[in-house]
Structure 1
Amino acid sequence: MFDMARRTTTRTPDEDFEERIVDIDVATEMRASYLEYAYSVIYQRALPDARDGLKPVQRRILYSMSEMGLRPERGHVKSSRVVGDVMGKLHPHGDGAIYDALVRLAQPFSMRLPLVDGHGNFGSPDDSPAAMRYTEARLAPAAMLMVQSIDEETVDFKPNYDGQETEPSVMPSAFPNLLVNGASGIAVGMATNMAPHNLVEVVAAARHLIKKPDATLEELMRFVPGPDLPTGGIIIGLSGIRDAYETGRGTFRTRAKATIESVTPRRKGIVVTELPFNVGPERVVTKIKELVNAKKLTGIADLKDLTDRHKGLRLVIEVKNGFNPEAVLEELYRLTPMEESFGINNVALVDGRPRTLGLRDLLQVYVEHRIDVVRRRSAFRLRKREERLHLVDGLIIALLNIDQVIQVIRGSDDSAHARTRLMETFELSEVQAAYILDTPLRRLTRYDKLELDREKETLQSEIAELSAILGSEDRLRKVVSAELGEIAKTYGTPRRTVLLESSEAARAVTVPLEVADDPCLVLLSSTGLLARTADATPISAEGERAVHDVLVSVVRSSVRGEVGVVTSKGRLIRVSVVDLPTLPPTANPPSLAGGHPVSEHVALEPEEKVVGLGSLDPDGPGLALGTTGGVVKRVVPEYPANRDDFEVIGLREGDAVIGAVELSSPDHDLVFITSDAQLLRFSASAVRPQGRPAGGMAGVRLNDDAKAIWFGAVDPARESRVVTVAGSSTALPGTQMGAGKVSDYADFPPKGRATGGVRAQRFLKGEDVLLHAWAGPVPAKAASPTGKPVPLPEELGRRDGSGERLVHAVAAIGGGLDGSADARETGQEPDNDHGE
């Protein structure tokens, strides 16, 4: 062992200097110095007192602010003034440590019940506060409970660091601050980390312990099931909390509170409104960006921090289409600070010694402290009231003998002589006699006699009440319990943190990260809405609904596949199926009320409309197109893979596509219906497939001033209907009801391509044009511009007969759709708000 030599010099009469060397063991010296330093850190800086839950610096801040008169009803003062007063009188450390403690006492995200009311920038979980010269502070209402009755000899005082001032060794603490606000600190060889709790729950447990001192931990946990963090969030797993409440040590996991919402019309997102304790949004944002850049986290399209002081925390994480938001959220919990562990280590000072305490011990220490405070307060008040009653008795004697008192005073040489004579004459104590001499004559009136009598009665009543409290332990406990109940009623707030068993969280999400590439149907409605089904089950239009859309087109695809949107200008635009909303599987017939408008997925030119959908499968049968000029074309399914927008037909000037269908069989009929009520059906096999640039071939021969208004495909083997609606060409679009007729498709004979067809409806007076037409499988349905069903004639009319007057205007007609049939909006454009 090395030795350290300490060299000292002393002056003697014989010699100028005498040198003396003292040998000290290094280990002994370091052990003593280190223990002294450790003692100072443990008791004077890092650990809270179990009674009031405050560290010395926090206690000194609250006491100094109370002495400065910085009550909640007063104005704020500069924080630097508070720090200077604390440092100059009580706390022999730097101003930085004092200001840091002051800031924490004012932060609502750090304290469940803040004790300082801060004005200015007191920081956030990510940012530090402004300098003390810029911020202001005063005591919060809850802090008044901490210093309440401190001037009534409720706690002991001790000298400050230089002996010129005194400071309280502990606060009266009218509520269990240590459990409510928690604590954290690192000492030498030990640390404390205590979670905040709900005031109402803690007070309820404390009152139960007051009533039943032998209460078990299980009974107390019925009132305090777990921590209640200032930032809310979700606590996962309660077994660690049970361990902490029993032994003082335990661990639990905290999660952010998040919901799945539609953040844009086309995408889902994760909206985070609460984060784990001591985790700020900037920390989460930074970690997510790092993981996305490192390709360790997929499925996130965008991230926005919309947090503000009015709406609070709001992180919006946009999820890419094709990914399950629930699975992405689980990845965020696993990889980011959106899920954190909190280790409970309940170390606090009890009788000046550090101890690890469970829930029952913490409550017991506080309850004993509070009972002692109320006992000392009651004794102080009893003494003060007895002293006052003694003075009041003396004044009453003086009033009853006022003339004699005045004679005694006038006949005395000085005040001391007068005091002595009063004591002898009226048998008064020295205190009573001195008080009578100090009382102004104006107080010695008949009215003051009445006041003194009332005051005497009040004092006697209060003395009896205080004596009863001090004389009964049960009554003393009831007073403490009642005061705690009033505090909980006044300052209590609802629980913010949700408690979940770990098994419940494990069962919450078991879905894959990416959406499975399952078969589905892509739907296009008459009001211009796109959607997909949950599977490829055929759709039926059976049944009646109050509101429904007529489907214009249905195409089979897969969730992660693509379909083509065909427009009236002969363009085919790729659309990703996964971007489309999924219809509820119970909707039958399907309602596309939750669908996306076509305009959100494709950019249309002026006067361009979407006329149908088509599969992009290169092995499929391809599209069949029909135009207003009577041109028909079957497109060879050879589409460019590197383009999202291309032509599928070369249109002549003034011509437009009116229908696009995907042929499921070359044996199906292709059907044209013209504006002059002519219907032509011919076999699809009569049309030779052509490449994309081709302009098609003659489909139907048109009469003068006529045009094709509907084109589609019909399976001749199925029972099908033809629906036509006739009206006047001079009427404003959407204003006339029209005359409708339903005919049997089998009544129309097949003819050759490029012929004129046969008449589908006979016009009556005032009718000269077909407004709408459609052919397809039964049953036939019609819809108004708002999507409401329009009744059609029930009886089958003659092929060339006239129609019956309809009760509502028709915007679209459709039929029994099984994924292979097709419906088409025809004639006048529907009046809708979806941008088609």
Structure 2
Amino acid sequence: MTLQANYEQIPLKEYAERAYLDYSMYVVLDRALPFVGDGLKPVQRRIIYAMSELGLAASAKPKKSARTVGDVIGKFHPHGDSACYEAMVLMAQPFSYRYPLIDGQGNFGSPDDPKSFAAMRYTESKLNPIADVLLGELGQGTVDFAPNFDGTLEEPSWLPARLPHVLLNGSMGIAVGMATDIPPHNLREITSACIRLLDDPDATVADLCEHVRGPDYPTQAEIITPRNELIAMYQTGVGSIRARAVYTQEDGNIVITALPHQVSPSKILEQIAAQMRAKKLPMIEDLRDESDHENPIRLVVVPRSNRVELAEVMQHLFATTDLEKSFRVNLNMIGLDERPQVKDLRRILSEWLSFRVDTVTRRLNHRLAKVERRLHLLEGLRVAYLNLDEVIRIVRTEEEPKPVLMARFRLSEEQADYILETRLRQLARLEEMKINAERDQLEEERAKINVLLKSPAKLKSLIKEELRADAAKYGDDRRSPLVEREAAQALDESALVASEPVTVVLSQKGWIRAAKGHDVDAEGLSYREGDNLLATVKTRTTQQIAVIDSTGRSYSTPAHTLPSARGNGEPLTGRFTPPAGARFDAIAAGDNDTRLVLATDFGYGFVTRFEALTGRNKAGKQIITLGDGARVLAPQTSADPARDRIVVATTDGHLLMFSVAELPELDKGKGNKLIEIPKAKLGNGEERVAGIAVVAEGKGEVTLFAGQRKLTLRWADLVEYGGNRATRGGVLPRGLRRVERIETTG
């Protein structure tokens, strides 16, 4: 006997595609994106509906949140209780929702930590009055009901929102292949835009932006996005919003009173404190959090002195912390066609107004049906009053009075049942008068409803009146001020470092470090085995230092980032990537406009600005063109090239002094000849330039070193060696004709 298989065999590829598509559609339509009609996701809609079914109206006594969550997940939303409770808490947080739908009692979190709310067994909740905007017309035939997950109950497919809630509280969600980021808006502005669109169906997005000036977050932080960018965002449905904290100045301190939406005060304090620990905010002395119940946000920044420019400090903090934050905007939602789409402002309001017109029409039709049914019953009752004796006789004598009544007075079955169910006390004369009055009233109401249903203009007028009424009842002033400002710029790194004197020490093997102060015995510092001092330069922590290698390439780094001289420092090869085999030969420091004289021991040189030596490239940049065998000399600073003199000494005892102005100012290159050296001596290495020194006119002093001997030459002595650039210069006294180096000493 062969058993028939009760399963279907399909290829794995087809099954996977179908399963993933089903999952994707579920996430998009039933989890992550809001519906344009009521602006709610399914879990939010079920929470609000379950609370209304529990009788948790704004005027009722609150119940434990666990009771609500239990009803939601047990009747409508078979998912995790923690996720459901978190969605419920979000709708109760006034710092998360612009118009909270739930009134939470207990710990529902704080702006400092929105997820610090108490467990649902401790908190209580009920609906806020504004929830009536979503629920007020629910039992009036305005929505379709669908079976719940197990088919035992019915739940509304949407809620009959009287306002475009999708824009009021906004929404965030991540679906499959798409996401939504809808910012909250001001109720009065949105209502005004809806009325404008009802009056002028051809209104453009720009026209509507005369009413909707921009998002309105729960916090009082400024929205600094330019108006043209806001209009472009509403025209395309995508863009970004930039919000900035609000601060005041009190007693010389900075007091921050409002933060951008969803920015935690503790995170701001942490970000500022991290910069203070890294010594990147030398102008700030202290940081305090003085927030309390009366002042939910009060962060105090204490400057180091009253000379600190507070506006510049705040500009830097705006640029480097979440005091200024950008929010993505993506107006993606489920439309009336049940499809997700990114919509512009006009499309959103147009679809919602269509939804509202349909809702009001259904409400009126529902009411009209009830009025006509009641009139039908009253008409039957009126017949009974007019023929009361006959009706009583039929009821008393006939075994089946119902069909007899229907045939005798041409009544419907419903009218006959109503007559038979009427109590004797209602047969009094006074009741007949009440019935006539009720009939007249109902007929008047029926006429009004028919006029509304047949006249689109009157229907629009009704919708506008209801919009105005809700705006007056639930609307409030804008919280987020719109102030156009330029995006903040962080201060230059040098401005964030305390200006302190340091001496940078470079060893022969390329290890570098910085010692505090300018009175440093560099030779007395400890060095690694086999290493010794090569060069030092006096600078400040706010300046950069530049190092030149044996190929003529220059590398730069901020002085304040160098390691302390208490250790051996760090190798420059860890910061830079010089060519293979290159060594570091010289070091310089200064501001960007500092003039330096760069020279080689072949006797060529030029003047350049320190900025030419700097750059961010780890591989450096070519600054000096070196001949074969040439070596870079220690750079010399020239405060005034027009008045300064350069002193050049050769290893063969020749000395020449001439004006620095005779040298060209270049960004890079070989430069011009400094002193004449015979080619024969230069070629075989008998004579090179031992060093250069720059002295001020009239007060210069240099010291020459030759082995154990040294010679100090004052200005009067140096004048004797004056001459033109590229000449041979004068000869030094015997015993000093093997010069090793030259230093400026005065």
The TM-score with structure 2 as length reference comes to 0.63
- Aligned twin of 1:718: none
Q: Which amino acid aligns with 1:450?
A: M
- Aligned twin of 2:297: 313
- Aligned twin of 2:201: 213
Q: Per the alignment, do residues 60 and 508 of structure 1 end up closer, same or farther by CA in structure 2, a change over 3 Å counting?
A: same
Per-residue deviation, 1:23: 7.8
Per-residue deviation, 1:490: 0.6
Q: Which amino acid aligns with 2:463?
A: V
C-alpha contact (below 8 Å) 1:323/1:513 kept by paired residues: no
Q: Secondary structure at the match of 1:290?
A: helix
Per-residue deviation, 1:506: 7.0
Q: Secondary structure at the match of 2:109?
A: coil
Q: Deviations over 1:492-549 (max 9, x none)?
A: 110011112235x779999x979999xxxxxxxxxxxxxxxxxxxxxxxxxxxxxxxx
C-alpha contact (below 8 Å) 2:57/2:128 kept by paired residues: yes
Q: Deviations over 1:110-168 (max 9, x none)?
A: 11111111111111233221111111111111111101111111011111111111111
Candidates 468, 472, 487, aligned match of 2:470: 487
Q: Per the alignment, do residues 25 and 295 of structure 1 end up closer, same or farther by CA in structure 2, a change over 3 Å counting?
A: farther
Map residues 221-260 of structure 1 onto 2, 5 A cutoff.
221-238=209-226, 239-260=228-249
Map residues 540-689 of structure 1 onto 2, 5 A cutoff.
none
Per-residue deviation, 1:24: 5.5
Q: Per the alignment, do residues 456 and 287 of structure 1 end up closer, same or farther by CA in structure 2, a change over 3 Å counting?
A: same
Q: Secondary structure at the match of 1:106?
A: coil
Candidates 103, 119, 130, aligned match of 2:118: 130
Q: Which amino acid aligns with 2:78?
A: P
Work out whether 1:440 is the aligned partner of 2:440: no
Q: Secondary structure at the match of 1:494?
A: coil
> 2:157 and 2:182 mapped to 1: Cα distance?
22
Per-residue deviation, 1:397: 2.1
Q: Which amino acid aligns with 2:299?
A: L
Q: Per the alignment, do residues 97 and 187 of structure 1 end up closer, same or farther by CA in structure 2, a change over 3 Å counting?
A: same
RMSD: 2.5
Q: Deviations over 1:704-743 (max 9, x none)?
A: xxxxxxxxxxxxxxxxxxxxxxxxxxxxxxxxxxxxxxxx
Map residues 12-411 of structure 1 onto 2, 5 A cutoff.
13=1, 25-127=11-113, 128=115, 129-238=117-226, 239-262=228-251, 268-321=252-305, 322-350=307-335, 351-411=337-397
C-alpha contact (below 8 Å) 2:316/2:490 kept by paired residues: no
Q: Percent identity?
A: 44
Per-residue deviation, 1:260: 1.4
C-alpha contact (below 8 Å) 1:332/1:338 kept by paired residues: yes
Q: Per the alignment, do residues 516 and 287 of structure 1 end up closer, same or farther by CA in structure 2, a change over 3 Å counting?
A: closer
Q: Secondary structure at the match of 1:502?
A: coil
> 2:490 and 2:348 mapped to 1: Cα distance?
35
> 2:411 and 2:119 mapped to 1: Cα distance?
61
> 1:341 and 1:288 mapped to 2: Cα distance?
18
Q: Which amino acid aligns with 1:422?
A: L
> 1:286 and 1:508 mapped to 2: Cα distance?
18
Per-residue deviation, 1:471: 0.6
> 1:22 and 1:110 mapped to 2: Cα distance?
49
C-alpha contact (below 8 Å) 1:323/1:514 kept by paired residues: no
Work out whether 1:474 is the aligned partner of 2:461: no
> 1:64 and 1:105 mapped to 2: Cα distance?
14
Q: Deviations over 1:592-635 (max 9, x none)?
A: xxxxxxxxxxxxxxxxxxxxxxxxxxxxxxxxxxxxxxxxxxxx
> 1:446 and 1:428 mapped to 2: Cα distance?
22
Per-residue deviation, 1:280: 1.6
More helix by share: 2
C-alpha contact (below 8 Å) 1:119/1:135 kept by paired residues: yes
Per-residue deviation, 1:304: 2.0
Q: Deviations over 1:154-186 (max 9, x none)?
A: 011111111111111111001110111000001
Work out whether 1:412 is the aligned partner of 2:398: yes
Per-residue deviation, 1:20: 12
> 2:172 and 2:84 mapped to 1: Cα distance?
16
C-alpha contact (below 8 Å) 1:297/1:331 kept by paired residues: no
Q: Deviations over 1:671-696 (max 9, x none)?
A: xxxxxxxxxxxxxxxxxxxxxxxxxx
> 1:21 and 1:461 mapped to 2: Cα distance?
63
Per-residue deviation, 1:235: 0.9
Q: Which amino acid aligns with 2:203?
A: A
Q: Secondary structure at the match of 2:181?
A: strand
Per-residue deviation, 1:22: 9.2
* More divergent stretch after superposition (391-400 vs 245-254): 391-400
Q: Per the alignment, do residues 286 and 516 of structure 1 end up closer, same or farther by CA in structure 2, a change over 3 Å counting?
A: closer
Map residues 423-438 of structure 1 onto 2, 5 A cutoff.
423-438=406-421
C-alpha contact (below 8 Å) 2:95/2:219 kept by paired residues: yes
- Aligned twin of 1:640: none
Q: Per the alignment, do residues 240 and 31 of structure 1 end up closer, same or farther by CA in structure 2, a change over 3 Å counting?
A: farther
* More divergent stretch after superposition (79-88 vs 163-172): 163-172
> 1:21 and 1:149 mapped to 2: Cα distance?
47
* Unmatched runs of 5 consecutive residues or more in structure 2: 500-746
Q: Which amino acid aligns with 1:435?
A: Y
Q: Which amino acid aligns with 2:96?
A: S
Per-residue deviation, 1:311: 3.1
> 1:192 and 1:318 mapped to 2: Cα distance?
40
> 1:482 and 1:507 mapped to 2: Cα distance?
48
- Aligned twin of 1:757: none
Per-residue deviation, 1:472: 0.9
